[in-house]
Amino acid sequence: MRTKRMYYVTYPSSGSGLKEYWEYSWSTSRGRSRGPHGGRERPSPLPPDTSTCLRVRQKEKEKEEEEKEEEAVAEEVEEEEEEEEKEREKSKPVSWEEWWTYDGISGPAFWGLINPDWWLCNKGRRQSPVNLEPNRLLFDPNLQPLHLDKHKVGGVLANTGHSVVFAVENDTRHPVNISGGPLSYRYQFHEIHLHFGLEDHIGSEHTIDGHAFPAELQIFGFNSQLYNNFSDALHRAQGIVAVSLLLQVGDLSNPQLRTFTQQLDQIKYGGQAVEITHFVVRDLLPDTKHYMTYDGSTTMPACHETTTWIILNKPIYITKQQLHALRQLYQGDMKHPNAKLGNNIRPIQPLHHRPIRTNIDFSVQQGHKNCPTMNRDLYYKGKLMVSLCKCNVLSFSARCCSTAR
């Protein structure tokens, strides 16, 4: 029968009272001379071998040292990998989506030069924004009223470093559709961009007879009847619609606009975002059925010429306090805020003989008998009389007549 016993041994020679547990085993055989232990003689345990214990301990120390060395090597390898990753990040091609700006060598004048994919920004013939000249508008009686669904949507309001953008949730059950007006298809609301100036005399991208406004809000949608999403439609014909609302300073702002401006303190720096729920896009629109429309492009790279622009003929209002809050936003993050976000404006682009149509019928405006009426065969010849009454266009202009709506 085999038995085991544990002995507790101390070795003074170790210098620190080294203590080890050693296990010894022995066998007892039947038939030996009987002793005091049940008639069997139990052999004495083997004396402990001090040198063996020290060798074991030495091996343990060596193993611990090897483990420490392996950990140190692993840390060094990890640090080297991190350094290599940083070097790779530095050597990576520039992310154009983040790199472009509205000024300097990365500004609008260079968009088409620094990236070949953005060649339209410099060489396109249907670029936006444009200056809307009242004496060159073409009345089109076939233009229908614009329609937006009044569904509530949720989304994220973000400081992208280029603009303030509200992007709708992708899984919206009841999307907001944009239809009517000059559109031949149904467009699904996708996002809103807000452009503004650091001073009141600039801010809007589109201008009216050379006059800019403090800000411009642009509602974008994509052709949901022909394309699956905004990115796909961005490169395709009749892919995008942009509804432009010019903002004027007033004592009381648009209620839905206040939904945005109340959250500005949470998106002070680039990359910050805040969730917004129960937002009604249609409530941003002013009370007017009149607008101007033309075929143009997006006003940021890659300047795709697939956008139908609709500029409403009445402003929405923003207060001085709200403009001040907008002007406190920064392009960069909290550690590197960089410049203020304002003046995110692309310069006016040439029309290149594009018609700008309107559904404003000058012949029926009250109190202006001198306003000319276009004959049907002259709708698209672009030769309106210079004496066209400017008061009919953009009823919020300082030169507008009080009867114009």
Q: Tell me the helix, strand and coil percentages in the chain, rounded to 5.
A: 25, 25, 50
Residue type at position 386: V
Looking at the DSSP bridge assignments, the partners of residue 104 are none
- Nearest residue to 25 via CA among 53, 46, 54, 9: 46
Q: Kindly compute the dihedral angle of the four CA atoms of residues 180, 181, 186, 192, in this order, to the nearest 10 degrees.
A: -120
Considering 187, 227, 269, 294, which one is annotated as catalytic?
A: 227
Question: Cβ-count burial of 83 within 10 angstroms (0-12 exposed, 13-18 middle, 19+ buried)?
Answer: exposed
For residue 18, what are the contacts with CB-CB under 8 A and spacing of at least 6?
10, 11, 53, 57
| Catalytic residue status for 227 | yes
Residues 6+ apart with CB under 8 A from 6: 21, 22, 23
Which of 129, 370, 154 lies closest to 278 in space, CA to CA?
Answer: 154
3-state SS string over 93-130?
A: CCCHHHHCCCCHHHCHHHHHHHCHHHCHHHHCCCCCCC
Number of Cβ within a 10 Å radius of residue 103: 12
Phi, psi values for residue 404, rounded to 5°: -75, 135
Q: Strand pairing of 307-312 and 240-249?
A: parallel
Q: How far is CA 382 from the centre of its chain?
A: 39
In 3D space, the residue among 243, 293, 310, 291 whose CA is nearest the CA of residue 394 turns out to be 291
Catalytic site residues?
227
